[in-house]
């Protein structure tokens, strides 16, 4: 397969993690201890950066930046099967490099692990819910080739920062990378596997619901 899409996925995921972690560090430093203000700044920066990355790299790779998105799009026939494994590897490697870049920019130790506790049924339910909504949005939007999809994805992530108890990781590559950052955006490595399992469950449910909706779409008359 062409190498450009793989590099685009690695670069996009790296920049996404630099945005998530870097804005989290900056927000925590400037918020004066107000966690709500820090989370708001982190969410806005992430949504804005994600929208820009989708617009920039979408024409090259589809701008997945997320293993469960890649698997869902592949299963739905919306992404070539030969891209799946290279994309997954690129996303994980890119995510880790993005975290290291954020550490470098803020003069922090490059190699570190998080001690932030993110565990429990509420956190896991939040991750399943956040991932379900994200993957369903992408599957239905991609099938219809919606021009508004990049903006919708970015806005969904901003909203999910606030309506989920976990602040919406919704991405296994992001979860792995954030376990390597003992900052505002971190997650303890021991808690990452449960997050990833919940994300996979949410994505699987979204895939099933999208199939259900698409199966009945032929019987729905077009909007006038």
Domain count along the chain: 1
CATH number of the domain encompassing residue 97 = 1.20.1080.10
Q: Please tell me the predicted confidence (pLDDT) of residue 20.
A: 98
pLDDT per position as a tens digit, 155-187: 999 999 999 999 999 999 999 999 999 999 999
Q: Please tell me the predicted confidence (pLDDT) of residue 66.
A: 98
pTM (two decimals): 0.94
Q: How far apart are CA 111 and CA 42, in angstroms?
A: 22
Q: Please tell me the predicted confidence (pLDDT) of residue 223.
A: 44
Average pLDDT over residues 81-97: 98
Evaluate whether residue 178 is within a structural domain: yes
Evaluate whether residue 206 is within a structural domain: yes
Q: How far apart are CA 167 and CA 181, in angstroms?
A: 16
Name the one residue in this structure whose structure tokens are 């919704």: 170
pLDDT per position as a tens digit, 5-26: 999 999 999 999 999 999 999 9
Q: Please tell me the predicted confidence (pLDDT) of residue 93.
A: 98
Evaluate whether residue 116 is within a structural domain: yes
Evaluate whether residue 162 is within a structural domain: yes
Evaluate whether residue 84 is within a structural domain: yes
- Across the chain, mean pLDDT equals 96
pLDDT per position as a tens digit, 115-148: 999 999 999 999 999 999 999 999 999 999 999 9
Evaluate whether residue 222 is within a structural domain: no
Evaluate whether residue 220 is within a structural domain: no
Read off the tokens for 81. Answer: 């099967």
One-character DSSP codes across the chain: --HHHHHHHHHHHHHHHHHHHHHHHHHHHHTTT-HHHHHHHHHHHHHHHHHHHHHHHHHHH----SHHHHHHHHHTTSS-GGGHHHHHHHHHHHHHHHHHHHHHHTT--SS--------SHHHHHHHHHHHHHHHHHHHHHHHTT-TTHHHHHHHHHHHHHHHSTT-----HHHHHHHTT--STT---GGGHHHHHHHHHHHHHHHHHHHHHHHHHGGGSPPP-
Evaluate whether residue 61 is within a structural domain: yes
Q: Please tell me the predicted confidence (pLDDT) of residue 216.
A: 73
Binning pLDDT at 50, 70 and 90, where does residue 215 land? confident
Q: Please tell me the predicted confidence (pLDDT) of residue 222.
A: 47
């Amino acid at each position: 397969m062409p190498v450009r899409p793989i590099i685009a996925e690695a670069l996009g995921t790296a920049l996404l993690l630099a945005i998530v972690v870097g804005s989290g560090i900056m927000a925590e430093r400037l918020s004066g201890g107000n966690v709500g203000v820090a989370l708001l700044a982190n969410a806005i920066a992430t949504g804005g950066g994600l929208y820009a990355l989708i617009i920039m790299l979408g024409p090259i790779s589809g701008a997945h930046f997320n293993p469960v998105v890649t698997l869902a799009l592949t299963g739905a026939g919306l992404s070539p099967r030969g891209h799946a494994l290279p994309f997954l590897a690129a996303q994980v490697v890119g995510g880790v490099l993005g975290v290291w870049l954020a550490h470098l920019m803020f003069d922090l130790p490059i190699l570190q692990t998080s001690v932030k506790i993110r565990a429990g049924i509420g956190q896991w339910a939040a991750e399943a819910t956040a991932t379900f909504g994200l993957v369903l949005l992408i599957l239905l939007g991609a099938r219809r080739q919606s021009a508004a999809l990049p903006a919708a994805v970015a806005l969904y992530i901003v909203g999910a920062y606030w309506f989920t108890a976990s602040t919406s990781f919704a991405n296994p590559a992001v979860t792995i990378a954030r376990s390597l950052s003992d900052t505002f955006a971190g997650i303890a490595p021991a808690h990452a596997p449960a997050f990833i399992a919940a994300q996979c469950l949410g994505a699987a449910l979204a895939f099933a619901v999208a199939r259900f909706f698409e199966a009945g779409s032929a019987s729905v008359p077009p909007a006038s």
